[in-house]
Structure 1
Amino acid sequence: MTSFRLLAVLLLAATPVAAAPADPVRPGSNPIVRDTFTADPAPLVVGDRLYLYVGHDEAQRDEMFTMREWLVYSTTDMKHWTAHGPIMNVKDFKWAKQDAWASQTIFKNGKYWFYAAVEHDATHPGKAIGVAVSHSPTGPFVDAKGSALITNQMTPKGPHSWEDIDPTVFTDGDGTTWIAWGNRNCYIAKLKPNMIEIDGPIREITPPHFEEGPWLHNRGATYYLTYASLDRSTHRDERISYATAPSIQGPWTYRGELTGSGKYSFTIHAGIVEFKRNWYIFLHNAALAIGDLNGAIGRRAVTVEHLRYNPDGTMIPVVQTEAGVSGDPAKGH
């Protein structure tokens, strides 16, 4: 081989080959947010737009949960999402010291009410639930009470200091708003019309294998209590199970598992909503990687799937997919 030909071969070998373009992300596929780790999804429909409130996972390599703020996203078609940024920081609850955990927002009396789990300061040790308020679904939200709505001391039966987490709020057809919450034990109570005080006793309604993350909704005359479940005799990771009742006050009948566990995730958290005549269930897993950080217990990613019901009102088991709702819209039931 002549030196000229050898030089040409070496130059050709050294020339970088353009990488094949990555497959484009199909709108509506999972996870729905890919530039930020998100968890504990809570949907709210306002007119023709769906807002999704999430916790912001910021854990680094050796951390479990680092959560300082709550974020909100919105969509009109379930496929394209708009980020609206942080709506509140845990420091905005002056009586709280850390942990912007699971939340939910509802609309009532012309305002948006935001209920969230945090770690209380030393005056009421343990997890607590605060309530904030805004005139806009995208905030800013401000502490509506100046103190916790629920503290660990209000539920003394619980086995540990972090049982007062994961609030879900639901307004019944008669206009009464209820709040349910818990870890290991599930509690429910009525809210006063001012939305910042408990009205009456706190009742325990713990269904089988209840772990955390309750969610209340109804469809017609059937009420649903969906929750993260953990049968410790057979499972290592949480799944979603549910119970039904003829009234928000029960009695609750256990219906079994609705989903399996989230991919690579010990925790799972469901939020359910009807939007434009279709039902959806939001979840989270730990399948997302951002930069050099892979998904983990403190780095989760929100997903969404179609939700369908049987004629008798029971929910059809949901298979978690990467496609999500990227295909044709689900048909209303």
Structure 2
Amino acid sequence: MKNTVRILLMLICLSVKIQAQNPIIKDIFTADPAPLVHNGILYLYTGHDTATTEDTNYKMADWHVFSTIDMKTWKDHGAVLSPSIFSWANGDAYAAQCVERNGKFYWFVSTFHKKDNVSEGGAAIGVAVSDNPTGPFKDAIGKALITNEMTTDKKHSWDDIDPTVFVDDDGQAYMYWGNGSCKWVKLKENMIELDSSITVVELKNYIEGPWLYKRKGLYYLVYASEGTKPEMIEYCTSKSPTGPWDYRGIIQENVPNSFTTHPGIIDYKGKSYFFYHNGSLPTGGSYRRAICVDYLYYNKDGSIKKIVQTTEGVKKVK
């Protein structure tokens, strides 16, 4: 009888292990997910944590691209971009997002700027461009789009990180970003020039990692919040991409074994998905993170239901 019970328990544990999808990338440490759908394929742009278990800060060597057509099997396209491609950069590969426009793919990245006659250093935002969602990518401008000297509302040097870019139905592109405060600016159609002055927007509990999108005429600004620390995910909505923003609440509580989390939201094949990272891989942690995905659901009034974090992840789609 005891042997039978033991075997049943082993089979149950094996079944759970087989069904577990999260984290979705298991062979390297990944962070800051940014999904993009193009030609029926979901592409996932990520950071790459390379810190050792003893390191006490981020080490992020490059950005990776993964893709899927069924939400279960992920193809690794490798490290297709690194800060070294930008002659003005000397920092790590912080959060980034790639968007498509007019047949080209623009990858907005955050890293750090060299000290030179343009900048005294600090965080900066650059743009890489490619004709293909998986590269090769090159510096689209030859200089940073945003430097630390262009924003003065915060005194720390890493406030210009975590860009999210959204192209509205009328063709106007917007970029939101920032650590400690949230800033936004319009972009020209070429996606490599600013088309307005920079505006700082006040958001409740905002800390970093914004994600901007539109659904059924309502604009959503989702972001990592201070909360009670570690970070949580909260959001606001508006009838305009520039606000005013109405605070709507917390949608994701603290994640396992990581101080930070980062949202990436996309609709794909009839479902809404919420990407985020935690520290749940073996030897993982705040500087060795792993990307997960779970379903995102809306209420009838457009508000977002609380995200249920699972190890099972999401089901395979056709």
TM bucket (normalised to shorter chain) is: over 0.9
In structure 2, C-alpha distance between the alignment counterparts of 1:208 and 1:261, rounded to whole Å: 17
The corresponding residue for 1:6 is none
Tell me the C-alpha RMSD between the 2 structures.
1.5
Among residues 221, 224, 242, which one is paired with 2:235 in the alignment?
242
Q: Where do 1:1-333 residues align within 5 Å? A: 23=14, 25-26=17-18, 29-63=21-55, 64-123=57-116, 124=119, 125-231=121-227, 235-289=228-282, 294-326=283-315
1:27, CA displacement in angstroms?
6.3
Deviation by residue 1:232-269 (Cα, 9 ceiling, x = unmatched):
xxx12000000000010211000010100111110000
Task: Name the amino acid aligned to 1:195.
Answer: M
2:175 alignment partner, SS class:
strand
- Asked if 1 retains the 8 angstrom alpha-carbon contact of 2:20 and 2:311, the reply is no
Moved over 6 A (4+): none
Question: Unaligned 5+ residue runs, structure 2?
Answer: 1-9
What is the TM-score with the length of structure 1 in the denominator?
0.88
1:31 alignment partner, SS class:
coil
- Asked if 1 retains the 8 angstrom alpha-carbon contact of 2:175 and 2:187, the reply is yes
What is the TM-score with the length of structure 2 in the denominator?
0.92
In structure 2, C-alpha distance between the alignment counterparts of 1:50 and 1:210, rounded to whole Å: 28
1:147, CA displacement in angstroms?
0.4
In structure 2, C-alpha distance between the alignment counterparts of 1:94 and 1:28, rounded to whole Å: 42
In structure 2, C-alpha distance between the alignment counterparts of 1:69 and 1:128, rounded to whole Å: 16
The count of corresponding residues between Structure 1 and Structure 2 is 302
1:117, CA displacement in angstroms?
0.3
2:222 alignment partner, SS class:
strand
1:159, CA displacement in angstroms?
3.2
In structure 2, C-alpha distance between the alignment counterparts of 1:300 and 1:49, rounded to whole Å: 24
> Between Structure 1 and Structure 2, whose CA radius of gyration is higher?
1
- Asked if 2 retains the 8 angstrom alpha-carbon contact of 1:70 and 1:89, the reply is yes
The corresponding residue for 2:3 is none
1:162, CA displacement in angstroms?
0.5
The corresponding residue for 1:15 is none
2:109 alignment partner, SS class:
strand
Deviation by residue 1:181-234 (Cα, 9 ceiling, x = unmatched):
000100010001111111111111131010100000110111000000013xxx
